[in-house]
Structure 1
């Protein structure tokens, strides 16, 4: 036994069945072991570890023969590595499948050595249960075969893991270099660019080497009015779901391109944020198309509002006058009261038509139009829904860009409507204020609020507000908690202008007695 080595050879110097020292080592060994006769394959001895592994009692195990531990079809395979009479040694180790007492199969690695037991030639077997390891190896083998099938069109020979890694890198580079979007990889603070695809040169108009040597040129190329929004992203931790930001890029030749930039945090095995990956897409054409569609939509709404005010309302005014004249002519006759009711209903219809017309023509095309439009919106909501809707503008905010002004008005209009319809709010405050680089619109209500998950939903109202904010390059956010109301916040950078003429500060409070029109129309329609 002392000569049992890794080679599996054994020179039988001691009789394992008679030497007490070796017998104790055999019995106490935590590795399953047994001794079986070289000729009859009968078991001569077994230790406790083997009994626990197979589930037999000692008496049951010793009554078995070696072939009874194997599935019957594999008996011939068993005898080959074990050998036959006259062999002095077997293979150092072999993999076999055995059956437990309960019928469960297990894979074993057997290390077999020739020994002398009670004067008889025998084999000493050490069994290692490798069932889980063989299962993992089989799964790995199947996965490796599937991987080889997927990449066989690209490679003729995948002999090593290193070649597979090179192939994966080549495929990634081919994809990144042939897509029109810019794929980039950087450190979390964007102070070091690890990789950027060649599309960067096409969109930014600058060579990739310039970005590698000076990562700040990415931020410096962003339009001055859009830099604050992009800078705010890196002033706080990047969320796990990443970020999305639209901004303009100014090329060296002075041309401007709209870019939709999406970034995602990449974490290491320990969960640490150590890379920032992203895709930047040129959305200039879609931005221009969206702007044209929105402008056409606003023009059509203005036309409809003007027609509603100038034609339909005027015709109803005529009906009101005729009804009043008829009421006077009828005098005390019973039909006079009905004519008066017609005149009153016409007056209500006139007021409703004018409110609808104001909603379709929200602001005047001038610097103070947004302030007056929001003030009128607060008054309309108070009159329509009998709620406390106020407008606050501590300092004058002059917005000369009609697209920005109209978009902010529509965002406020949608936020107020959502607060009334979904939030069941009784108090709403619309606030327009000036920031160092632009304007901030805030709409706060005391409604029922909602959870953050609902705030990220794709409802039509929220999508409309986000769309309009994105169209003018504004940041947009919603803060809400159940039973604690909702705050809609939109910040936009304003174009520089030389017009320094002051506009009046506007602060409005709803009237104490608001007139509620009968059957008020839903402003969201």
Structure 2
């Protein structure tokens, strides 16, 4: 229906004469009443259609002046909402034909301002003419707010009835007033079976009476949110439910009862128990597998340790053979060559120069053999331990590679375990080899220092350095270095040196009895 164009604000209506049926001494009182109430009082002649009287409230609801309505009676019906016009005509037809004694219908009207309002229109027949209704009258009451409230109530009722949750209301005595379809689905009791009873019939056997606690809390105006408990189904099954309980207050704010929303969480609880069981099973299997892996790792470590021990033992044996056998033979040959050279020199023989070269060559071979023997059996407690071995390593590396290699130590570190000392020695040895062969270093420092309760062995060079994390390009040498550090419960770190080159550091724990001591000259020795 098209909206009518807005008109100017209606002028105050002139005082109209009341219909002839109101002729007693109370006419003025009656006029004041009908002109000030919010309802529309109307009187109308049926044939021809004409309104003999309409109260001023009409102008407020319809937005049409009374003078216009007198001239155009059809404006009343034309303002009725299009969807409701058919029902209004049908109600009038039944009334006029005597099928209903009174006229009563609810419909909507759309005022000229576009607003839609609900009316409850009731009428009676005042007089008849030729057996047909001639004069009729009634009251049209604005029920817009009531209709809105009822519509809201209908929507809420639909929500309550269609929700899967149980929604129950109870009075202050704890007796059930309402019981929705959700409650019937969850607990199995019909509305007829539940209304009027207390909630005790849902309490599982031997369960605490939490309803009494709820009533005391509600009486204090408190709300209970998501309280998890158990209830009993009609068939005896125990259900896990989550309760939300709220107070209900009347129009004056007084406590009138309380509502309870129950949600069936049985499946969720069962799922949680299943998850807990599966987690426990997973943890058990992880523990078993972890124990199995620990055993495998321990066995592998033991095998690797045995391989290293065999390797070190063979190296020591070879070193001893070089020292005791080849070394002794070379020493004897060198002494004989030396005597021969001096004898030839004393006699002025021309072979003295060749004998001197032979003596020199044998001397170098003897020194090289002894160096190899010391390298194969580097750490001997009776020869100064790890410190002396590292110092000797620096000297031999300088001679062997033609570089500057120095050993620095400002702490005395006593290692009772010779295997740990050998591992550290081999780490330093490999680091020097890498610095020279791959980094082209010219200067190398071997440093032994303390770091709190631990010690650190560092090899710093001035070579090319590393271009990416060492773990990305580790060869066999680096992997063996890391393994040796793990064997002594240490950590190996390979980083760029502050200026250039590479710094290889092995941090390892010290035995409890190892304490720093100082030498008499103020420097700490290893």
TM-score by length of 1: 0.42
Q: Flag the structure with more relative contact order, 1 or 2, with Cα contacts below 8 A and sequence separation at least 6.
A: 1
Q: Which of structures 1 and 2 has the bigger CA Rg?
A: 2
Larger % of helix: which?
A: 2
TM-score by length of 2: 0.42
